[in-house]
C-alpha cells in the first residue's frame, strides 16, 4: 500500500513539474511574440546606437550566405540583454512557421555586456552574435535590443533596421 501511495505521489510531482516547465516555455514564447510584434510596430528604427556597436556582416558558405548580427563594444553597462532579429518581413505580420534568431528570450541564460570587462562565470561577454543562413545575396533585418541597468530599475529598448545589398562584398 505504501508503494502505491509513493508511486502516485511521484507521478503527481512529475506531472506538476512537467506542467510548470510547459507553462514557463509558453511564457517565454509569449515574450518572444510580444517582442516580435514590437519590432513590427516600431516606426523609429535606427542603424547605430550611442550605447554599443551593432553591425550586420555577410559571409559566403557553400553557395549560401551566413549573416551575422554582431553587438559589441558597449559604452554603458548592459544587463539581461535580449535580442530578436527579424529577417526580411515585409508583411508586417508574425511568421509563426519560422522562428527568428533570438538571444536571451527563450533560454534560461543571462547575457551582459560591460565596458572593458569579460567574465564568463558572470555571463559577461565581449560581444554577442546572432546568425542566419539564407540563399539570398542581400538581406534586410529589423532588430530589437533590450537590456536593463545593473540594479534592474531601468529598462532600455532600441530598434534597428540593417541591410546588406547583393553588391556588398563578402567578409573575409
Residues spanned by the domain of 75: 40-164
Q: Is residue 33 situated within a structural domain?
A: no
Rounded to two decimals, the pTM is: 0.82
Q: Is the pLDDT of residue 157 over 90?
A: yes
CB-based contacts of 1, cutoff 8 Å, min separation 6: none
Span 4-46, pLDDT tens digits: 554 454 444 444 444 444 555 888 899 999 999 999 999 999 9
Whole-angstrom Cα distance, residue 111 to residue 122?
Answer: 9
Check which CATH number belongs to the domain holding 151 and give it: 2.60.40.1470
CB contact at 8 A, 123 and 108: no
Whole-angstrom Cα distance, residue 23 to residue 42?
Answer: 28
Residue 63 DSSP class? T
What are 118's three cell numbers?
569579460
In the chain, how many domains are there? 1
Q: Is residue 66 situated within a structural domain?
A: yes
Q: Is residue 32 situated within a structural domain?
A: no
Q: Is residue 96 situated within a structural domain?
A: yes
Q: Is residue 153 situated within a structural domain?
A: yes
**Residue 8 CB burial class (10 angstroms; 0-12, 13-18, ≥19):** exposed
Report residue 172's pLDDT band, with 50, 70 and 90 as the boundaries: low
CB contact at 8 A, 69 and 141: yes
Q: Is residue 116 situated within a structural domain?
A: yes
What are 25's three cell numbers?
516555455
Q: Is the pLDDT of residue 90 over 80?
A: no
Chain-centroid distance of CA 132 in Å reads 12
Radius of gyration of the chain (CA): 20
Q: Is residue 2 situated within a structural domain?
A: no
Mean pLDDT computed over 139-163: 96
Q: Is residue 148 situated within a structural domain?
A: yes
Amino acid at each position: 500500500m505504501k508503494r502505491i501511495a509513493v508511486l502516485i505521489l511521484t507521478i503527481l510531482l512529475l506531472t506538476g513539474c512537467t506542467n510548470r516547465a510547459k507553462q514557463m516555455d509558453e511564457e517565454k514564447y509569449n515574450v518572444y511574440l510580444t517582442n516580435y510584434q514590437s519590432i513590427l510596430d516600431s516606426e523609429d528604427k535606427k542603424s547605430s546606437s550611442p550605447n554599443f556597436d551593432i553591425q550586420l556582416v555577410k559571409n559566403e558558405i557553400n553557395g549560401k550566405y551566413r549573416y551575422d548580427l554582431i553587438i559589441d563594444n558597449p559604452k554603458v553597462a548592459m544587463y539581461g540583454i535580449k535580442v530578436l532579429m527579424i529577417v526580411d518581413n515585409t508583411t508586417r505580420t508574425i511568421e509563426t512557421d519560422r522562428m527568428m534568431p533570438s538571444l536571451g528570450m527563450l533560454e534560461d541564460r543571462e547575457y551582459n555586456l560591460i565596458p572593458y570587462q569579460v567574465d564568463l562565470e558572470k555571463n559577461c561577454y565581449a560581444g554577442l552574435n546572432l546568425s542566419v543562413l539564407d540563399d539570398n545575396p542581400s538581406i534586410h533585418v529589423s532588430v530589437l535590443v533590450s537590456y536593463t541597468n545593473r540594479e534592474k530599475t531601468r529598462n532600455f529598448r532600441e530598434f534597428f533596421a540593417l541591410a546588406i545589398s547583393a553588391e556588398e562584398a563578402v567578409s573575409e
